[in-house]
């Protein structure tokens, strides 16, 4: 367990280790707190880059949202500090690293493994939605894996308090965007995370996203929910995917029913 959080953090408190990866807006290093030997991940963000991208407010909101989140499947933000040029985030270290690298290596996951991950994602989302937090950026790149193989949802760069209308433009892949965020409907709800969970389930089992195409074609297929489920996918898995990838947000299967879905129940041992 992390030490009693000291009032103030500063860079001198940490011994910096190997680079862990490049998150958006900054690099991340393995770090050890000198006094207690506590291992964490230290994310370095450059203030001028934050200003250039106009994301300081987003970061402040994120730090505020994260500071009262505590869940085994959500990467913890222990604290933050800054110096003249940089902002530092003290993050939980995920011992097995990045999920998307495992997916790339495996091509696609077995049904038991995918179901275990989706059950943990659903638990994390149920916790977030109860706190009226929408993640809005669920994709393999934002999922890390803990030392015991458990999922750690990370990088809440886009999280907001529901309901919300998106103000800043999006970057990165379109594959995970729900129809309601594409056809510019004024408001969207936590149901956007259910759609993304459907895309994630499909990608875990097939090894490619359901609407993958050229950007224009991807958008057309998303707003129509036009996807094909390969026949090597079990009927139960296909059933859950079809209940998540529903164009109308309110008709998507509620989170609480995901835990009871036959595909999840069949594979998930309930072992945490
Ligand atoms: C709760 O996790 C975050 C919370 C916030 C932000 C963030 O940058 N927000 C943000 C930045 C700029 C503007 C607006 C929001 C980022 C993360 N997370 C990360 O960046 C993940 C770093 S990679 C890594 N971390 C641990 N263990 C590993 N093995 C690895 Br690899």
Mean pLDDT, consecutive 10-residue stretches, the chain (272 aa), reads 70 97 84 97 95 92 90 96 96 96 97 98 96 89 96 73 50 85 82 97 98 96 97 98 97 97 89 48
Q: In this structure, are residues 191 and 250 in contact, taking their beta carbons and an 8 Å threshold?
A: yes
Query: Which atom of ligand 1 lies nearest, measured to the CA of 95?
Result: 29
Q: In this structure, are residues 247 and 225 in contact, taking their beta carbons and an 8 Å threshold?
A: yes
DSSP state of 164: B
> Which residue's alpha carbon is at the smallest distance from atom 3 of ligand 1?
155
- Ligand 1: distance of its center to the CA of 132 in Å? 21
Q: In this structure, are residues 203 and 230 in contact, taking their beta carbons and an 8 Å threshold?
A: no
Tell me the best of 22, 68, 91 to mutate to test the pocket of ligand 1, counting ligand atoms within 8 Å of each CB and taking the most.
91
d(CA 173, CA 196): 12
Dihedral Cα 146, 261, 267, 130, nearest 10 deg: 20
Is 69 touching ligand 1 by the criterion CB < 6 Å?
no
Is 156 touching ligand 1 by the criterion CB < 6 Å?
yes
pLDDT for 272 equals: 44
Q: Catalytic residue at 155?
A: no
d(CA 104, CA 167): 32
Q: Which of 190, 189, 206 is nearest to 241 (CA)?
A: 206
DSSP state of 188: B
Provide φ and ψ at 135, rounded to 5°: -75, -50
pLDDT for 32 equals: 98
d(CA 118, CA 259): 9
Query: Which atom of ligand 1 lies nearest, measured to the CA of 41?
Result: 26
Q: Which of 209, 194, 204, 239 is nearest to 114 (CA)?
A: 204
Q: Which residues pair with 42 in a beta bridge?
A: 29, 90
Is 58 touching ligand 1 by the criterion CB < 6 Å?
yes
Q: Give this prediction's pTM.
A: 0.92
d(CA 68, CA 46): 24
């Amino acid at each position: 367990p992390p030490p009693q959080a000291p009032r103030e953090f500063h860079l001198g408190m940490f011994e910096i280790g190997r680079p862990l990866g490049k998150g958006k807006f900054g690099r991340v290093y393995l770090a050890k707190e000198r006094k207690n030997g506590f291992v964490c991940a230290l994310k370095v963000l450059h203030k001028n880059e934050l200003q250039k991208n106009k994301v300081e407010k987003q970061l402040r909101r994120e730090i505020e949202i994260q500071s009262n989140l505590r869940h085994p499947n959500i990467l913890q933000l222990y604290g933050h500090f800054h110096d003249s040029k940089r902002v530092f985030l003290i993050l939980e270290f995920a011992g097995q690293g990045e999920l998307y690298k495992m997916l790339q290596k495996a091509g696609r996951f077995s049904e038991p493994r995918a179901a275990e991950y989706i059950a943990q994602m659903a638990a994390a989302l149920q916790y977030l939605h109860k706190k009226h937090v929408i993640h809005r950026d669920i994709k393999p790149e934002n999922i890390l894996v803990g030392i015991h193989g458990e999922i750690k949802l990370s990088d809440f760069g886009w999280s907001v308090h529901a309901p919300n209308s998106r103000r800043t433009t999006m970057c990165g892949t379109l594959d995970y965007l729900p129809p309601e965020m594409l056809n510019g409907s004024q408001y969207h709800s936590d149901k956007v995370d259910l759609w993304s969970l459907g895309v994630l389930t499909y990608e875990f089992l097939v090894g490619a996203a359901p609407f993958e195409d050229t950007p224009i074609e991807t958008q057309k297929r998303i707003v129509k929910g036009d996807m094909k489920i390969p026949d090597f996918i079990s009927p139960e898995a296909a059933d859950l995917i079809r209940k998540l990838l529903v164009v109308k947000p309110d008709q998507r299967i509620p989170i609480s029913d995901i835990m009871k879905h036959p595909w999840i129940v069949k594979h998930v041992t309930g072992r945490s």
